[in-house]
Amino acid sequence: MATVAYAAPEVLSNAPIDHRSDIYSLGCTLYRLLTGHPPYPATNGAAGVMAAHLFSPPPRVTDQVPTLPAPLDQVIAVAMAKDPAARFPSASALAVAASAALHDATRHHPLPAVPSGEVVSYPSSWPAPAWWQHSGPRTMASPGPPLPLAPPPRGLDPAITRRRRRGVAIGASLAAVVLLAATIAIAAWPDHTTTPNPTDAGSAPAADGTPPEAQGPPATDITGPQLRPILLTANDIARATGGQAVTLETDTAAPFNDVDTVDNPQCLGAWAPGQQTVYASTGYTGMAAQTLRAINQSSSQDGVTQAVIAYPSQDKAAVAYVNQRGQWALCGGKPLTVTPTGQPPQTWDFAQPVTTSGVLTLAATLRGTATSCQHGLLARGNVVIDLRQCRPTGANVTALASATAAKIPRQ
Domain ranges of the chain: 4-102, 224-407
Architecture of the 224-407 domain: 3-Layer(aba) Sandwich (3.40)
| Cβ atoms of residues 179 and 32 within 8 Å | no
- What Cα–Cα distance (Å) separates residue 33 from each residue in 91, 121, 147, 255, 367? 16, 20, 25, 45, 53
Q: Do strands 286-294 and 303-310 pair parallel, antiparallel, or not at all (unpaired)?
A: antiparallel
Whether the domain at 4-102 and the domain at 224-407 fall into the same CATH topology: no
What was the pLDDT predicted at 2?
Answer: 54
What was the pLDDT predicted at 114?
Answer: 40
CATH fold for domain 4-102? Transferase(Phosphotransferase); domain 1 (1.10.510)
What is the full per-residue pLDDT of the chain (411 aa) written as tens digits? 458 899 999 998 878 899 999 999 999 999 998 888 999 998 888 888 999 999 988 999 999 998 888 889 989 998 999 989 889 888 888 888 888 787 765 554 444 444 433 333 333 333 344 333 344 444 333 344 444 444 544 555 555 555 555 445 445 444 544 554 544 333 334 444 343 443 333 333 433 333 343 468 999 999 999 999 999 999 999 999 888 899 999 999 999 999 999 999 999 999 999 999 999 999 999 999 999 999 888 878 899 999 999 999 998 998 899 889 888 989 999 999 999 988 899 999 999 999 888 899 999 999 999 889 999 999 999 999 999 999 988 799 999 999 999 999 999
**How would you write the chain as a 3-class SS string?**
CCCHHHCCHHHHCCCCCCHHHHHHHHHHHHHHHHHCCCCCCCCCHHHHHHHHHHHCCCCCHHHHCCCCCCHHHHHHHHHCCCCHHHCCCCHHHHHHHHHHHHCCCCCCCCCCCCCHHHCCCCCCCCCCCCHHHCCCCCCCCCCCCCCCCCCCCCCCCHHHHHHHHHHHHHHHHHHHHHHHHHHHHHHHCCCCCCCCCHHHCCCCCCCCCCCCCCCCCECCCCCHHHCHHHCCCHHHHHHHHCCCCEEEEEEECCCECCHHHECCHHHHHHHCCCEHHHHCCCCCCEEEEEEEEECCCCCCCCEEEEEEEECCCHHHHHHHHHHHHHHHHHHCCCEEEECCCCCCCEEEEECCCEEECCEEEEEEEECCCCCEEEEEEEEECCEEEEEEEEECCCCCHHHHHHHHHHCCCEC
- Determine the Cα–Cα distance for residues 383 and 156; give it in Å rounded to an integer: 61
Is the torsion defined by CA of 5, 189, 11, 314 positive or negative? positive
What was the pLDDT predicted at 301?
Answer: 85
What was the pLDDT predicted at 338?
Answer: 97
* pTM of the model as a whole: 0.59
